[in-house]
Amino acid sequence: GQNIDQPTEMTATEGAIVQINCTYQTSGFNGLFWYQQHAGEAPTFLSYNVLDGLEEKGRFSSFLSRSKGYSYLLLKELQMKDSASYLCAVTEGNYQLIWGAGTKLIIKP
């Protein structure tokens, strides 16, 4: 079956670093997306990984291990505006994405 797991909620401190993990089990795999969703708003694209390794984009980085079915999103120098839900999604070789339930990140001053 298809399954994507993320922690439900995480709390971190402004200025710190936080790592949000995502594990997946799917029948096929072509790539993994991370999206950010602020409360009451639409999801917006953060990153895409298809090969193993780390992709860095400013304060955000995303890592993928295909053999382990594992990814993480790393957020550095946390700001209050980073308080949001972070959604992991896997693409399986057609146009569709399989979505995790999302991780709600709470940033405290």
Residues that bind other proteins (CB under 8 A): 8, 30-31, 33, 41-45, 48, 50, 87, 89, 91, 93-97, 99-102
Please report how close the Cβ of residue 8 comes to other proteins at its closest, in angstroms. 8
Please report how close the Cβ of residue 53 comes to other proteins at its closest, in angstroms. 17
Q: How many CA atoms lie within 13 A of 50 on its CB side?
A: 4
> DSSP state, 52?
S
Kindly state the tokens that stand for 90.
Answer: 């896997």
Q: Tell me whether residue 25 or residue 30 sits nearer to other proteins (CB atom).
A: 30
C-alpha 82/C-alpha 77 separation (Å) is 10
Please report how close the Cβ of residue 13 comes to other proteins at its closest, in angstroms. 26
Q: Tell me whether residue 27 or residue 109 sits nearer to other proteins (CB atom).
A: 27
Q: Tell me whether residue 78 or residue 89 sits nearer to other proteins (CB atom).
A: 89
Q: What stretches of 1-109 adopt beta strand conformation (E)? A: 3-5, 9-13, 18-25, 31-37, 44-49, 53-57, 60-65, 70-75, 84-91, 97-99, 103-108
Please report how close the Cβ of residue 88 comes to other proteins at its closest, in angstroms. 9
Q: Tell me whether residue 16 or residue 50 sits nearer to other proteins (CB atom).
A: 50
